[in-house]
Amino acid sequence: MKQHESYPLIPIQRGDGVWLYDAEGKRYLDAVSSWWVNLFGHNNPRIKEAIKQQLDTLEHVMLAGFTHEPVVELSEKLGKLTGLGHAFYASDGASATEIALKMSFHYWRNSGKSNKIKFISLQNSYHGETLGALGVTDVAIFKDTYAPLLMQSAQMPSPDFRLSEAGEGAETFALRCAEALEFYVSEHHHELAAFIIEPLVQCAAGMGMYPPAYLRRAREICTKYDVHLIADEIAVGFGRTGTMFACEQGEILPDFICLSKGITGGYLPLSAVLTTDKVYQAFYDDSTAKGFLHSHSYTGNPLACSAALATLAIFESDHSLHKNLEKTAFIVNQMQALTHLPVKYLRHQGMIFAFDVVTQNPQFSKLAYQAALQRGLLLRPIGNTIYFMPPYTIAEDEINFMVSATYDLVKAMQ
Ligand SMILES: *Cc1c(COP(=O)(O)O)cnc(C)c1O
User: What is the rounded average pLDDT of the residues 335-353?
Assistant: 98
Cα–ligand 1 centroid distance for 136 (angstroms): 12
- Which residues does 64 contact at the CB level (< 8 Å), separation at least 6? 295, 299
C-alpha pair distances (Å), 195 with each of 24, 98, 106, 223: 48, 13, 15, 11
67-99 pLDDT, tens digit per residue, is 999 999 999 999 999 999 999 999 999 999 999
Max Cα–Cα distance, the chain, nearest Å: 67
The DSSP element (H or E) to which 388 belongs, if any, is strand 385-388
- Residue 189 contacts residue 225 (beta carbons within 8 Å): yes
CB of 197 closer than 6 angstroms to any ligand 1 atom: no
Whole-number Å distance between alpha carbons of 239 and 315: 9
Euclidean distance between CA atoms 13 and 178, whole angstroms: 47
Ligand 1 center to residue 21 CA distance, Å? 26
Q: Long-range contacts made by residues 3-8, C-beta under 8 angstroms, separation at least 24? A: 7/366, 7/370
pLDDT, mean of residues 385-398: 98
Same domain, 302 and 398: no
User: Relative to the CA of 128, which ligand 1 atom is closest?
Assistant: 4
CA 177, 178, 182, 185 dihedral sign is positive
Q: How many other C-beta atoms can be found within 10 angstroms of the C-beta atom of residue 364?
A: 18
- Domain boundary, last residue among 317, 334, 366: 317
| pLDDT category of residue 356 using cuts at 50, 70 and 90 | very high
Which domain CATH number covers 14? 3.90.1150.10
Are residues 134 and 78 part of one domain? yes
Same domain, 294 and 265: yes
Any domain includes 85 = yes
pLDDT tens string 151-207: 999 999 999 999 999 999 999 999 999 999 999 999 999 999 999 999 999 999 999
Structural domain total, the chain: 2
Q: Is 260 in the pocket of ligand 1 (CB under 6 A)?
A: yes
Final residue belonging to a domain, choices 274, 292, 317: 317
Q: Could you tell me the residue range of the domain that residue 234 belongs to?
A: 49-317
Same domain, 282 and 135: yes
The pLDDT tens digits of the residues spanning 251-260 come to 999 999 999 9
Q: How far is CA 275 from CA 82, 254, 278, 345, 412, in A?
A: 9, 8, 8, 35, 49
Among the atoms of ligand 1, which is closest to the Cα of residue 129?
A: 9
Q: Are residues 292 and 362 in the same domain?
A: no
- Which neighbouring-strand residues pair with 208? 202
Q: What is the per-residue pLDDT for 236?
A: 98
The residues, any chain, with a CB within 8 Å of residue 303's CB and separated by 6 or more, are: 51, 54, 55, 59, 60, 268
- Is residue 306 in some structural domain? yes
Q: Is 259 in the pocket of ligand 1 (CB under 6 A)?
A: no
**Nearest residue (CA) to ligand 1, atom 7:** 93
Taking the C-alpha atoms of residue 116 and residue 152, their distance in angstroms, rounded to an integer, is 14
Residues 6+ apart with CB under 8 A from 131: 146, 149, 150, 151
CA of 92, closest atom in ligand 1: 7
**Stated pTM of the model:** 0.98
Asked if 50 and 287 count as a contact pair (C-beta separation under 8 A), the reply is no
Gap from CA of 167 to ligand 1 centroid (Å): 33
Closest CA to 126 of 51, 231, 198: 198
Confidence (pLDDT) at 96 = 98
Residues in the chain: 414
Q: Which of 336, 269, 283 is nearest to 109 (CA)?
A: 283
pLDDT tens digits, residue range 103-139? 999 999 999 999 999 999 999 999 999 999 999 999 9
| 276 shares its domain with 365 | no
Query: Can you say how many angstroms the Cα of residue 283 is from the centroid of all Cα atoms in its chain?
Result: 27
Query: Do 197 and 293 have their domain in common?
Result: yes
Distances (CA, A) of 374 to 53, 343, 362, 367: 39, 22, 20, 11
- Above 90 in pLDDT, residue 262? yes
- Cβ(121) to ligand 1 under 6 A? no
Same domain (yes/no): 59, 125:
yes
Judgement on whether residues 128 and 93 belong to the same structural domain of the protein: yes
For 44-72, write each residue's pLDDT tens digit: 999 999 999 999 999 999 999 999 999 99
- Do 312 and 361 lie in one domain? The reply is no
Predicted pLDDT at 414: 87
CB distance 128 to ligand 1 below 6 Å: yes
Percentage of the chain beyond pLDDT 70 is: 100
Residues 162 and 76 placed together within one structural domain of the fold = yes
Domain with 81 in it: what CATH number?
3.40.640.10
Nearest residue (by CA) to ligand 1, atom 8, is 93
DSSP 142-168: HHGGGGGGSPP-EEEPP--GGGSPTT-
Classify residue 194 by its DSSP letter. E
